[in-house]
A and B are shown apart, each in its own frame.
Chain A
């Protein structure tokens, strides 16, 4: 591996999250380094998605500290996360069903578009210029993901695998410094998985994007990730290089169960 892994850019310290009386996350700490691929694994209901939701501000943990790029933050709304360069995809595809592929990916660049609605209404210089400029950027993403042929198709009509790819496209269009992927390969066949792996590695490689990923396919996780964190029942039970985690007895118990 020739790629350079940098310093810690996201540091999570003692995060606890409750919904009413239900504890979703308990005292979890781990960090993410720049340019690395960091996997979060664990059985169903371990709190993996909640963890991503904490990172990009959808949920607000009751306790704990989040330090992103050296700045501590207490409470953050999702759109702040977006403007700071955190993009994500969802477990159950969260595309805008009524819009075309092109428009969906264009929304990914919305934080970078400055023209006001009045300029849009009158189609003045800046509004028009921005639409063109960002269209060019979006077309690059479309080329990268090899989805040129479906540009104009409403996303609701696309098959599942392509929708996942479009969702990745929308996140990439934001040119994020950190990309959160929630089960990007769930429900895909082998070929689609291979494509998706290739895209993830290319993104990481070509743009240096830091990637935090939740995935169930252990083969994939062990292959592509630099470090792995393991959650079970909202607690951290393992953290380290893929090979270390694979041999961690707690992790094996959590996955295979143990006879009492």
Chain B
């Protein structure tokens, strides 16, 4: 039971990390209807910019600030040079364009900052919290807990931003109906640039957390692939959905990884590790069967 709890909590906490990446997707999708496959590559670029700037001698806070500037500029450039030119294309073309964008970043980032894997030290150690270990005998990493805290903070900030600021309200108007927003004088392109800037910021936070945990390396781009099933489960348009979806994926894939292989081994023989690689997708497929719009998404009626 203790072991089960440990796996579950570990899974939930890593789910928070998935949610961090998924959040970036949701923001852009809500505001512009673009499914941004390059979000994972942006996480990679953000983390690389931080370590890159630190290697040039910048202290951590300055490196983060510089990375923020880089991500914002990059977001704005993406909007201006790619997405604006694809305005009336079908969503699938925009999606494919972001796949191109992902490759672009994956080629550019290591040319700017080097491709060898590096560690990123935020000063938080990845070790069990002694108090919890003593009291219940459960291993919970200090780092994971901090990551969860950061995610919670980020979500709250974003929620407040959307709810109470002028820009936030404009963003929600744009998300509701582009045409209507345009007709009441909301400058659509500024809004999109801001959204891409925010998505860059979210990518930076995710990049810091993931980079500190797993090292800054190419594998960071795969975080986007894990975020996709998170979105299917949570719904593409919902911030809370991204969080809940992340938790579900995180917990279920860890549990599956621990408890499924022995079962399969006894059935078929052989070694069945690596279930994590596909489990989230198959789970997402089942969700699609039951609730295609996701847990928190809106149902869509086709009109003729």
Contact = CB atoms under 8 A, between A and B. Distances in A.
Is any CB of A less than 8 Å from a CB of B in the complex?
yes
Interface in A11-31: 19
Interface string A2-14: 0000000000000
Contacts of B304: 49, 53, 58, 90-91, 94
Contacts of A53: 304
B301 interface: yes
A94 B304 CA distance: 9
Interface string B282-304: 00000000000000000001001
A49 B302 CA distance: 13
Contact of B301 (A19, A90, A91, A94): A19
Interface of A: 19, 49, 53, 58, 90-91, 94
Nearest to B303: A49
A180 to B, nearest CB: 11
Nearest to B299: A20
Nearest to B301: A19
Q: Provide the main secondary structure of the chain B interface.
A: loop
Interface in B50-97: none
A126 B242 CA distance: 54
A91 B303 CA distance: 11
Contacts of A91: 304
Nearest to A56: B304
A58 B304 CA distance: 9
A49 B301 CA distance: 15
7 contacts: A19-B301, A49-B304, A53-B304, A58-B304, A90-B304, A91-B304, A94-B304
Nearest to A90: B304
Contacts of A94: 304
A73 B304 CA distance: 22
Nearest to A91: B304
Nearest to A59: B304
A29 B301 CA distance: 25
A58 B301 CA distance: 12
A49 B304 CA distance: 8
B300 to A, nearest CB: 12
A44 to B, nearest CB: 14
B93 to A, nearest CB: 13
A19 B304 CA distance: 14
Contacts of A19: 301
A90 B304 CA distance: 7
Contacts of B301: 19
Nearest to A52: B304
Interface in B119-133: none
Contacts of A58: 304
A91 B304 CA distance: 8
Nearest to A53: B304
A91 B301 CA distance: 17
Closest CB pairs A-B (n = 7): A58-B304, A53-B304, A90-B304, A19-B301, A49-B304, A94-B304, A91-B304
Nearest to B302: A58
B97 to A, nearest CB: 19
A5 B304 CA distance: 31
A87 to B, nearest CB: 14
Nearest to A49: B304
Contacts of A49: 304
B35 to A, nearest CB: 22
A181 to B, nearest CB: 14
